[in-house]
Amino acid sequence: MVIQKEKKSCGQVVEEWKEFVWNPRTHQFMGRTGTSWAFILLFYLVFYGFLTAMFTLTMWVMLQTVSDHTPKYQDRLATPGLMIRPKTENLDVIVNVSDAESWDQHVQKLNKFLEPYNDSIQAQKNDVCRPGRYYEQPDNGVLNYPKRACQFNRTQLGDCSGIGDPTHYGYSTGQPCVFIKMNRVINFYAGANQSMNVTCVGKRDEDAENLGNFVMFPANGSIDLMYFPYYGKKFHVSAVGGPVRWLPPGEQGPGEEAECQGPGPLLSSSGPGELHAAPGGREVPERDPQCGGERRMPYQCRQHRHGR
Amino acid sequence: MGQKTLEIYSVELSGTKDIDQTDKGDGKEKYRGLKNCFEPKKNHQREELKKELDLDDHKLSIKELEEKYGTNFITGLSSTQAAELLAQNGPNALTPPKETPEIIKFLKQMVGGFSILLWIGAILCWIAYGIQYSMNKSSSLDNAYLGCVLALVVILTGIFAYYQEAKSTNIMATFNKMIPQQALVIRDSEKKTIPAEQLVVGDIVEIKGGDRIPADIRLLSVQGCKVDNSSLTGESEPQARSSEFTHDNALETKNIGFYSTTCLEVSASPAGTATGMVINTGDRTIIGQIASLASGVGNEKTPIAIEIEHFVHIVGGVAISIGILFFIIAVSLKYHVLDSIIFLIGIIVANVPEGLLATVTVTLSLTAKRMAKKNCLVKNLEAVETLGSTSIICSDKTGTLTQNRMTVAHLWFDNQIFIADTSEDHSNQVFDQSSGTWASLSKIITLCNRAEFSPGQENIPIMKRVVVGDASETALLKFSEVILGDVMEIRKRNHKVAEIPFNSTNKFQLSIHKTDDPNDKRFLMVMKGAPERILEKCSTIMVNGQEQPLDETTAAAFHTAYMELGGLGERVLGFCHLYLPADEFPESYSFDVDTMNFPMSNLCFVGLLSMIDPPRSTVPDAVTKCRSAGIKVIMVTGDHPITAKAIAKSVGIISANSETVEDIAKRLHIAVEQVNKRDAKAAVVTGTELKDMSPEQLDELLTNYSEIVFARTSPQQKLIIVEGCQRQNAVVAVTGDGVNDSPALKKADIGIAMGIAGSDAAKNAADMVLLDDNFASIVTGVEEGRLIFDNLKKTIAYTLTKNIAELCPFLIYIIVGLPLPIGTITILFIDLGTDIIPSIALAYEKAESDIMNRKPRHKKKDRLVNQQLAIYSYLHIGLMQAVGAFVVYLTVYAQEGFQPGILANLRVEWENDNVNDLEDSYGQQWTSYQRKYLEWTGYTAFFVGIMVQQIADLLIRKTRRNSIFQQGFFRNKVIWLGIASQIIIALILSYGLGSVTALNFTMLRPQYWFVAVPYAILIWVYDEVRKLFIRLYPGSWWDKNMYY
């Protein structure tokens, strides 16, 4: 016969639970006596204490292998990426000329972004370097000798410097400036000793038509070699570094996209590039190990502008 | 006409009739097996299935029968008639038990176990993708892919499990296929041999001795026919059959022969055949109805199925509760609902051991294969383990415990009892054969015997030869053949001149021979029979070859010997002879057996000979093993209590020093009632006693006595006994061979049918078939079953451990906001990739200690997955693994530039595709793709970390109590294969497929493979310490909490 399933009444269930939580006969709480619970607590205290110690120890050992100043490996950063300012949610810079609020936030951001590049601050913090050459700062026997960045003066940005600019970087006139910056990578010698340019084109043909010509500051979107290499946050006294370029206004149309190429040849020191991401938020996986010094790495950025 | 045949039996359900009411006469007792009982699922009242037999064909005269079935006794049916009937009623074969449709079986695999959880995961993935898609048409397909992968995993593991099941079922299917039975039928006035399947109602069939009866038949003309109805009624004695109507009850009357029973013999006259008319075919036969009723007895879930369900509940419960808990936490931490859903999926996937159920199936089928080699054919994979947890075996006697053939066990002559060798080959007959009495006795044994070897068996060992004749005569024939050599030759030399065959009124058998001594012209009359009848006819007795007058003392000696042999449960025969004086009985004398013109008294008594169906030589050992393994062996037999008890004693079911209440009474010379029942360990209970017992009394009997023999039981009572055992929370194994056993076989937790003697119905109802009908094979099965339970425990512990290491990353990711340490796809590669072969390898692990020396596991207490196992796997080893894997992950990030300090709360920026200048600890800026690649490297690192520590986990799971050094590092070679597979798969994933974007693996620097090694060593050392303390302090707090 089937073993009959004992149907328990609700009261019985409650009663059983009560007894499970506290059993007055055996003095068991949740099925264990006080001593047993004490043992358990002690055991886990010791066990997890030991485990934490072990973890701490191994982490400490591991951190001994890591230098404070240069990362152990940089294989993922063979090619630095590009980024735009103003930084927006999805890299679309939306501007409605007639609606000041639409671009005011961008202007605020740019003001903040460009503040450290004020000539006065630059002169105070950064070195004047010889253009056209890498600004190498060897330790010369002094360990971790502080390094300085080269000056990049805001005034170099010309019409987009925003200094005394009633057009608010062109946003109020529908010719907005977009700044392109290159990611910092430690000990990266960009350009292989040749001058570099950032070039921008419309993503699609019709975009190119609508955008018209770009005006670049400094001229031709050139990046000077003196801004390289970067020695890392701890060495570089000045946190601000890296070149800033602006993308000048073209003909405006609804929703044009522009694509910018980073300076090439980029690969001078760090071996074959493997992948590149771009400010457009589009991943451009380039895993061609063949790509050597001569190849121009495509970057894309997108500028999105809305109606007049 | 066809309609009429359909109405012959009606089966009705009656819930009110008590079973005992049907016991009107003792003759009916044995038919109770026909009335199967089963429980409807809803009410717990036992319902009796009562069958009313409207069969009246046995009452009809031949003329009426011919009319009724439109047939002719002489010419038979015409072929056209037969074809019509065949089309109308279907073939004469039992419909195989209803199989679950394949598609249902398949779908069951798809939704069983963890599949539901994974389906939920997959659906959540698709929902998440749907939401993403509706928000952003160009959203990434990751979630949709993941959903597909999860669905694929479920479907693939489902297909795999289904395939495994199907494979093991197929073994059975091929086994079931038997040589089609032929039947000799008269059709169109011609005798034809046709397949028995094509028989139809009204066919006239002829049956010879040894044939299986092809359908239910009404016997029309027959003489001296005996049938073996044991598979139907459980009666072991051959039943006489004649063409006369003797009883109102169709089952009792002698003129009906039943489908699938065997016709043992038919007298030579008139044609050596019995003629009968088919009255029922196929499922409408009595056997057919029982077989179909057996399928009504519910099949209980196997213990291992219950265990696995329990385990699935635990893991599923953990998965769902952690999932929901963290869903709530995530939502309250202001995560997007969409993100929270994705976390939920990750948690489910991390928690569910996807590969485990497939592993369990493989493990079970490996064991099933191993058992098949040892003659245990497992029909239902899960039954492999059931045998291991068996705590009571209800064993049949005949054929399972015994050799199923009468064998001469003892001889008594010259006032002395001699023991004959009863082993399987009889080879060692050591008794004194020099006495003159033996010469005379052997002559009687040889000559007064009608059994003969079937021709053409000269090369077969004597004991295996086929003999035509009844059981005792066969025993005597083989006995004398072994000792004396060619019996047929001896018989030829001593020509038989007259003979009276054995019959139940005379109770003796007699024959008269010319002797082979050419100088002796006297006839020799030899006689054997019931000892007291033989002794009556004697006036002298032979002692040491000399005839002596039979006086009081020798008669007393005879009685003592007779009682002693009878007390051993043996069938005793007396032998006597007489040389007829040559002057009175010259060579030309014509003996007339009807008038008995020869002396029937003053014979010379020669000796006694007793026979028994001896136990198989392997059984006593097997029973001892069962004993030490804590398994109670109960004998349930239809045989007499004395025989049953004797066999039980000789095989050890009743051990040498234990007594029954009756034994104690006899020893102390007191009445049975005065005996303290507690003193008796053993009990012999007959069917009649059992009938009067209430279930409570039966329970008491089963708990109070450790050694029980049920004798004279009906098949119905077998079912009651099984139920009684199951009420004790025991896992009950039942052995059986007859159709009538099939309900009990089904009812048992594991039904074991005999492969050789078993009927199809029994094999169909059973979970397991013993190919050699040998009880000892059950013991092997038990051993394998227990081992597999232990090893499954190890497998599950191994598999569960890494779940924590897979789960922690998600929890920490949600709470601390690290970049995701391990991806869902990567987890699947552990669960279904690196971990599969190692977990199967644990099935090959040898037992740690003698598993046959411990008690069977308690169904409710010794769970497959218990609290200790879960806690030890999750909170001890699993946590260590998680920490170890995190160290690898953090190492990779730190050496690439992201030191542990800045990882916290980095998640949002890290995952934002539009942040292309995320700063690391050194002020370097990372694009989103660069980060993605680093994240995948982190996955690979975490994966490798887990893999390395799973190697240590695998090694520690080899044993639960012993040190790994005690178990031996290299005894289980498959483990090393498993470790190799783990490493190779990981290498392939990282270095071979590291460039396949979709898999999220990258090429990992070689040194990262060794970062987790200290933790692997820690795991191993920790477990060795655990085991050491368990061994040192058994029963301590440590033992209780740390032994799983």
The CATH number of the domain where B690 resides is what? Answer: 3.40.50.1000
B5 is a domain residue: no
Q: For residue A59, what pLDDT is reported?
A: 94
Q: What is the pTM of this model?
A: 0.78
Burial label, B891 (beta-carbon count in 10 A; 0-12, 13-18, 19+)? buried
Chain B residues inside the 8 Å CB shell of A276:
927, 929
* Claim to verify: residue A164 and residue A202 sit in the same structural domain: yes
B92 is a domain residue: no
> B928: nearest CA in chain A?
A277
Residue B65 confidence (pLDDT) above 70: yes
* Claim to verify: residue A136 and residue A222 sit in the same structural domain: yes
* Claim to verify: residue A89 and residue A61 sit in the same structural domain: no
Residue B554 confidence (pLDDT) above 70: yes
Listed range (B3-17, B603-617, B810-824, B937-951) with the worst mean pLDDT: B3-17
Do B926 and A183 lie within an 8 Å CB cutoff? yes
B10 is a domain residue: no
> B881: nearest CA in chain A?
A51
Residue B534 CA, chain-centre distance (Å), reads: 46
Alpha carbon distance A35, A41 (integer Å) = 10
Both structure tokens of B713: 């039981």
Is B665's Cβ below 8 Å from some Cβ in A? no
Nearest to A186 among B924, B929, B1011 (CB): B924
User: What is the least distance, in Å, from the CA of B916 to any CA of chain A?
Assistant: 6
B34 is a domain residue: no
* Claim to verify: residue B280 and residue B334 sit in the same structural domain: no
Percent of chain B with pLDDT over 70: 90
Q: Which of B944, B952, B926 is nearest to B1004 (CA)?
A: B944
B1029 or B249, which is more confident: B1029
* Claim to verify: residue A41 and residue A160 sit in the same structural domain: no
Q: What are B673-714's pLDDT values in tens digits?
A: 888 878 888 999 988 888 888 889 999 999 888 899 998 887
Q: For residue B212, what pLDDT is reported?
A: 79
Chain A residues inside the 8 Å CB shell of B1015:
54, 58
* Claim to verify: residue B185 and residue B166 sit in the same structural domain: no
* Claim to verify: residue B364 and residue B388 sit in the same structural domain: no
Average pLDDT over residues B973-981: 94
A54 is a domain residue: yes
Residue B1033 confidence (pLDDT) above 90: yes
* Claim to verify: residue A180 and residue A225 sit in the same structural domain: yes
Picking from B579, B612, B645, the residue at the C-terminal end of a domain is B612
Chain A residues inside the 8 Å CB shell of B896:
71-76
Listed range (B287-291, B617-621, B808-812) with the worst mean pLDDT: B287-291
B288-307 residues touching A, CB cutoff 8 A: 298, 300
Chain A residues inside the 8 Å CB shell of B901:
none
B867 is a domain residue: yes
Q: Catalytic site residue B663? A: no
A178 or A57, which is more confident: A57
> A186: nearest CA in chain B?
B924
* Claim to verify: residue A45 and residue A137 sit in the same structural domain: no
Chain A residues inside the 8 Å CB shell of B924:
71, 74, 77, 183-186, 230, 232
Q: For residue B1016, what pLDDT is reported?
A: 96
Q: Which of B402, B401, B394, B400 is nearest to B719 (CA)?
A: B394
A286 is a domain residue: no
Q: For residue B1021, what pLDDT is reported?
A: 96
Annotated catalytic residue within B57, B396, B760, B773: B396
* Claim to verify: residue B601 and residue B507 sit in the same structural domain: yes
CATH code for the domain of B529:
3.40.1110.10
Per the structure, how many domains does chain B have?
Answer: 5
Q: What is the dihedral of CA A9, A11, A16, A18, to 10 degrees?
A: 160
* Claim to verify: residue B119 and residue B191 sit in the same structural domain: no
Q: For residue B745, what pLDDT is reported?
A: 85
A77 is a domain residue: no
B191-250 residues touching A, CB cutoff 8 A: none
Alpha carbon distance B839, B954 (integer Å) = 8
Picking from A223, A242, A261, the residue at the C-terminal end of a domain is A261
A4 is a domain residue: no
Average pLDDT over residues A275-281: 27
Alpha carbon distance B498, B616 (integer Å) = 38
Instruction: Point out which residues pair with A201 in neighbouring strands.
Output: A259
B18 is a domain residue: no
B268 or B135, which is more confident: B135
A228 is a domain residue: yes
Beginning with the edge strand found earlier in the chain, give each strand of the sheet holding B239-241 in spatial order: B239-241, B225-228, B262-265
Interface test with chain B among A36, A44, A147, A183, by most B beta carbons within 10 Å: A183
Residue B52 confidence (pLDDT) above 50: no
* Claim to verify: residue B326 and residue B426 sit in the same structural domain: no
Percent of chain B with pLDDT over 90: 23
Average pLDDT over residues B805-815: 91
Interface test with chain B among A5, A43, A58, A89, by most B beta carbons within 10 Å: A58
* Claim to verify: residue A52 and residue A182 sit in the same structural domain: no
Identify the top-confidence range among A164-173, A258-267, B60-69, B1016-1025: B1016-1025
* Claim to verify: residue B887 and residue B1020 sit in the same structural domain: yes
* Claim to verify: residue A113 and residue A175 sit in the same structural domain: yes
Domain assignment of residue A250, given as a range: 82-261
Chain A residues inside the 8 Å CB shell of B887:
55, 58-59, 62
B620 or B39, which is more confident: B620
Chain A residues inside the 8 Å CB shell of B890:
59, 62
Is B140's Cβ below 8 Å from some Cβ in A? no
* Claim to verify: residue A135 and residue A59 sit in the same structural domain: no
Residue A261 confidence (pLDDT) above 60: no
B1036 or A221, which is more confident: B1036
* Claim to verify: residue A256 and residue A112 sit in the same structural domain: yes
> A36: nearest CA in chain B?
B1037
Picking from B715, B739, B773, the residue at the C-terminal end of a domain is B773
DSSP one-letter code for B77: B
Picking from B730, B746, B773, the residue at the C-terminal end of a domain is B773
Q: For residue A202, what pLDDT is reported?
A: 66
* Claim to verify: residue B948 and residue B885 sit in the same structural domain: yes
Both structure tokens of B783: 């051993």
Is B19's Cβ below 8 Å from some Cβ in A? no
Q: What is the ipTM of this complex?
A: 0.81
Domain assignment of residue B257, given as a range: 62-84+180-296
Q: What are B748-774's pLDDT values in tens digits?
A: 889 998 887 777 777 777 888 888 888
* Claim to verify: residue B627 and residue B678 sit in the same structural domain: yes
A183 is a domain residue: yes
Do B896 and A73 lie within an 8 Å CB cutoff? yes
Residue B8 confidence (pLDDT) above 70: no
Residue B345, amino acid? I
For residue B1008, the tally of other CB atoms under 10 A from its CB is: 20
B458 is a domain residue: yes
Alpha carbon distance B531, B691 (integer Å) = 33
Do B927 and A181 lie within an 8 Å CB cutoff? no
* Claim to verify: residue B628 and residue B712 sit in the same structural domain: yes
Q: For residue B27, what pLDDT is reported?
A: 39
**Which residues neighbour A230 within 8 Å (Cβ) at sequence distance 6 or greater?**
A184, A185, A186, A187, A188, A236, A241, A242, B923, B924
Do A76 and B933 lie within an 8 Å CB cutoff? yes
User: What is the least distance, in Å, from the CA of B385 to any CA of chain A?
Assistant: 21
Both structure tokens of B154: 């479920």
- Tokens 């700062």 correspond to what residue? A137
Per the structure, how many domains does chain A have?
Answer: 2
Both structure tokens of B523: 């006839």
Q: Tell me the average pLDDT of chain B.
A: 83
* Claim to verify: residue A95 and residue A22 sit in the same structural domain: no
Which pLDDT band holds residue B392 (cuts at 50, 70, 90)? very high
CATH code for the domain of B315:
1.20.1110.10
Inter-chain Cβ pairs, chain A and chain B, closer than 8 A: 148
Q: For residue B777, what pLDDT is reported?
A: 87
Which pLDDT band holds residue B506 (cuts at 50, 70, 90)? confident
CATH code for the domain of A107:
2.60.40.1660
DSSP chain A: -PPPPPPPPHHHHHHHHHHHHEETTTTEETTEEHHHHHHHHHHHHHHHHHHHHHHHHHHHHHHHTS-SSS-S--GGGSS--EEEES--TTS-----TT-HHHHHHHHHHHHHHHGGGSHHHHHHHSB---TTS------TTSTT--B-PBP--GGGGGGGS-TT-TTTTTTTTT---EEEEEPP-BT--GGGGS-EE-EEEESSHHHHHHH-----BSGGGEE-GGG--B--TTTBS-S--S-EEEE------TT--EEEE--S---SSS-----EE-TTS-EE----TT--TTPPPP----------
* Claim to verify: residue B478 and residue B492 sit in the same structural domain: yes
* Claim to verify: residue B739 and residue B884 sit in the same structural domain: no
Q: What are A97-125's pLDDT values in tens digits?
A: 777 787 788 888 888 888 888 888 888 87
B1024 is a domain residue: yes
Alpha carbon distance B578, B528 (integer Å) = 12
Average pLDDT over residues B711-730: 85
* Claim to verify: residue A220 and residue A110 sit in the same structural domain: yes
Alpha-carbon distances, residue B832 vs A225, B249, B825, B828, B843 (angstroms): 52, 63, 10, 6, 17
Residue B44 confidence (pLDDT) above 50: no
